[in-house]
Amino acid sequence: MWSNKKPETLQTAQPEPKNLTVNPPPRTSAATWEGTTAMSTDAMRPMGATADRATARLGPSLHVKGEISGNEDLVIEGSVEGLVQLDERKLTVGATAKVTADIIAREVVVYGSVKGNLRAKDRIEIKKDGSVNGDLTTARIMIEDGAYFKGSIEIDKSGEKESGGSSFSRSAVPATAGAAPKTI
């Protein structure tokens, strides 16, 4: 009887070769290899970067004098003197960075030291150990406890003006700018 059961398991094993024919997608390792290669490239990018948004990095030993402009996110860990212009991108000033420059970007996050005016279309963040000495112009602002800031803040509501805000709300910006950090 055992011999009868073994052929039955062999008969049930026959559908398994059909399952093995289903398993060839892992066998098409060329497609898997291509996917892995792309993922390896992505794995080398810093967190927060996507395929269409590359991130450049200036290391702590680098010193740049002049103008920096580009079409990718930038992390500065060294020192920069001049102008940094990344209109639609994010600038991160690292904890070891010393920036003496005017900055224009979509978003600016400061962990280190900045001396100069900052203009961001979306937001400016000054982290707890960050230091900014200059005027800020942005739609949104966040200053953590422990951060140093000396200058003025202008809340730019030009985006609201374009979407239907009145000119009165634009002229009221200086009056509301002082309260804005509490509510934003």
Is residue 40 one of the residues assigned to a domain?
Answer: no
Q: Is residue 74 over pLDDT 50? A: yes
Residue 48 domain-assigned (yes or no): no
33 within a domain of the structure (yes/no): no
- Tell whether 94 is covered by a domain: yes
What pLDDT, on a 0 to 100 scale, did the predictor assign at position 156?
Answer: 86
Q: Which residues pair with 65 in a beta bridge?
A: 81
Structurally, how many domains does the chain consist of? 1
Among the residue ranges 8-12, 91-95, 124-128, 180-184, the one predicted with the least confidence is: 180-184
Query: What are the tens digits of pLDDT across the range 136-172?
Result: 999 999 999 999 999 999 998 875 544 444 333 333 3
DSSP 80-137: EEEEEEEEEEEEEE-TT-EEEEEEEEEEEEESSEEES-EEEEEEEEE-TT-EEES-EE
Would 79 be classed as within a structural domain?
yes
The pLDDT assigned to 158 comes to: 77
Judge whether 135 lies within some domain: yes
In a domain? residue 118: yes
pLDDT at 15 over 60: no
pLDDT at 2 over 80: no
> What range does the domain containing 61 cover?
55-155
pLDDT digits (tens, 9 = 90+) for 29-65: 444 444 443 333 333 444 444 445 678 999 999 999 9
Q: Is residue 176 part of a domain?
A: no
Residue 10 has pLDDT above 70, yes or no: no
Looking at residue 157, its pLDDT comes to: 83
- How sure is the predictor about 67, in pLDDT bands with cuts at 50, 70 and 90? very high
Evaluate whether 55 touches 72 at the Cβ level (below 8 Å): yes
Q: Residue 68 pLDDT more than 70?
A: yes
User: pLDDT tens digit string along 82-125?
Assistant: 999 998 999 999 999 999 999 999 999 999 999 999 999 999 99
Cβ 81 vs Cβ 65: under 8 Å = yes
